[in-house]
Amino acid sequence: MDIHELNMKKISIEELENRMRPGQFSEKGFLGPSERLMDVLETDEKRLKELGVTYEELADALQRIIEEGDRKRGQNVKVNDKFVVKIEAYTGFQMCPFSPDPHHFQCMAAGGVRFGSLDWMILNIASGQVMHGPGIIVQPIRAHHFFEGFQSPYRVDPSELARLLELGT
């Protein structure tokens, strides 16, 4: 994978990594203090191939569940008799660190960020598995193939997400 696949022709990897460090675009960071973005992307890409699931499948399934829960924020909402989702909304809006001009515009790749002020909790009723994550993650998964860094407290592990959503192997 190269920088062109990220649709970030004007932004260097170094600039992206700086934006993603703790205290920059996020208090706790999209990446840990010494993580390398390309290492994270390559590792996650290999894992998705092993699972037989695409970024789009994960993003689409997660988005559908978040949309259902967002209709009744703060409440437990049953989705398709398979999941329970609860959405919490916050003031402010998380900027996507991949934005070409983050001081003026949100990232519009893959339709832009829709859930930048939300957090979610999803329970898979059958398995009992529960995951929490930031709403913004839908867009970076779909547009940038990014689940956040291994050291980020907001990382949404692709293997765990696929298992939760019953996708792939």
Q: Looking at the domain assignment, is residue 96 inside a domain? A: yes
Q: Looking at the domain assignment, is residue 1 inside a domain? A: no
Q: Looking at the domain assignment, is residue 41 inside a domain? A: yes
pLDDT band at 7 (very low <50, low <70, confident <90, very high): very low
Q: Whose structure tokens read 């996507």?
A: 96
Q: Looking at the domain assignment, is residue 4 inside a domain? A: no
Contact status, residue 128 vs residue 44, Cβ threshold 8 Å: no
Predicted local confidence at residue 3, as pLDDT: 39
Q: Which residues pair with 120 in a beta bridge?
A: 87, 133
Total domains present in the chain = 1
As a whole number, the mean pLDDT across the chain is 89
Contact status, residue 83 vs residue 124, Cβ threshold 8 Å: yes
| pLDDT above 80: residue 2 | no
Contact status, residue 96 vs residue 115, Cβ threshold 8 Å: no
Predicted local confidence at residue 162, as pLDDT: 98
Domain encompassing residue 34? 9-165
Contact status, residue 41 vs residue 145, Cβ threshold 8 Å: yes
Average of pLDDT values for 112-136?
89
Q: Looking at the domain assignment, is residue 81 inside a domain? A: yes
Phi/psi for 60 (5° steps) reads: -65, -45
Q: Looking at the domain assignment, is residue 34 inside a domain? A: yes
Phi-psi sector, 64: left (phi>0), alpha (psi -120 to 50), beta = alpha
Q: Looking at the domain assignment, is residue 40 inside a domain? A: yes
As a whole number of Å, the end-to-end CA separation of the chain is 23
Average of pLDDT values for 58-76?
95
Q: Whose structure tokens read 């298992």?
A: 163
How far apart CA 134 and CA 62 sit, in angstroms, is 11
Of all residues in the chain, the percent with pLDDT exceeding 70 is 90
| pLDDT above 90: residue 127 | yes
pTM for the complete prediction? 0.88
